Amino acid sequence: MINYLTFFITLLIVLNSSVFCQEFKTVNTAQDVIDNYITAIGGKEALADIESIEMKGTTGIDDEKGAIDVYLSKKFIYMNINTKQFKLIQAIDAEKHKGWMKFGDIITNLKPEEIEKKINNADESLFGNFLNPEKFNVKFELLQNETVDSADCYVIDMLKDSLAIRTSYFDVKTFMKVKELKGGFTNEFSDFKKVPGTDVIMPYMIKSKTGNVSISDIKFNSKFNKVLLKKTVGKDKKEENN
């Protein structure tokens, strides 16, 4: 279940550009790549205006295909994965520091440290690592170029406390982020489109060993339905252990 959460948190921070003409810096440093990436995905102002991201999509194939709903903001975090093989709901009220998770039929309250970690991830995922690296104590290191699906890519390590926490691959021509490695998991991104009503572009397809995801709808700054914070019917883990 943690793998799926990492998968979607990764998805929420991976944006890119399309074939539109852009004014890019000459690349000499890792920060040049990041600056070009920000330019390609819509610019600092457009990204800074995003306070929440809502996504709907599907994962799996044929009879195994199921729905995915995700909402991410600094106030609320919600995820619902419902496939034939995997069912997970997670809901967090960040302002009250309360949250719960339902995995299969078992419901558990999230521990304070778990909630805090997810709140920090959400804050960073709203483009904070790229827009305000000092705030999140991250730095970028430019590595040797590599090829991803025949495309030459800049390779950037994101460092925190001198440790690499994420490796990202940016197409040298478009500065699309086409691949990312984090926590031992590899995600590849494609089908880049503008989010309706905005100039910000996100990948609508993500491929991973944990399962491919096709996004059908993305919205920024939509209102969260607080009813989703209420626990669904299920067996409490404490009851199961008695």
Report d(CA 115, CA 92) in Å as an integer. 7
The rounded mean pLDDT for the chain is 87
Written as six digits, the tokens of 225 are: 């339905």
Report d(CA 140, CA 158) in Å as an integer. 5
Domain 2-222 belongs to what topology?
outer membrane lipoprotein receptor (LolB), chain A (2.50.20)
pLDDT, tens digit (0-9, with 9 covering 90-100), for 165-188: 999 999 999 999 999 999 889 999
The domain spans of the chain are 2-222
Residue bearing tokens 């991410």: 72
pLDDT, tens digit (0-9, with 9 covering 90-100), for 128-144: 899 999 988 999 999 99
pLDDT, tens digit (0-9, with 9 covering 90-100), for 88-135: 999 999 999 999 999 988 999 999 999 998 888 887 778 889 999 998
Closest CA relative to residue 41, chosen from 207, 124, 33: 33
Angle between helices 2-13 and 112-123 (to 10 degrees): 20
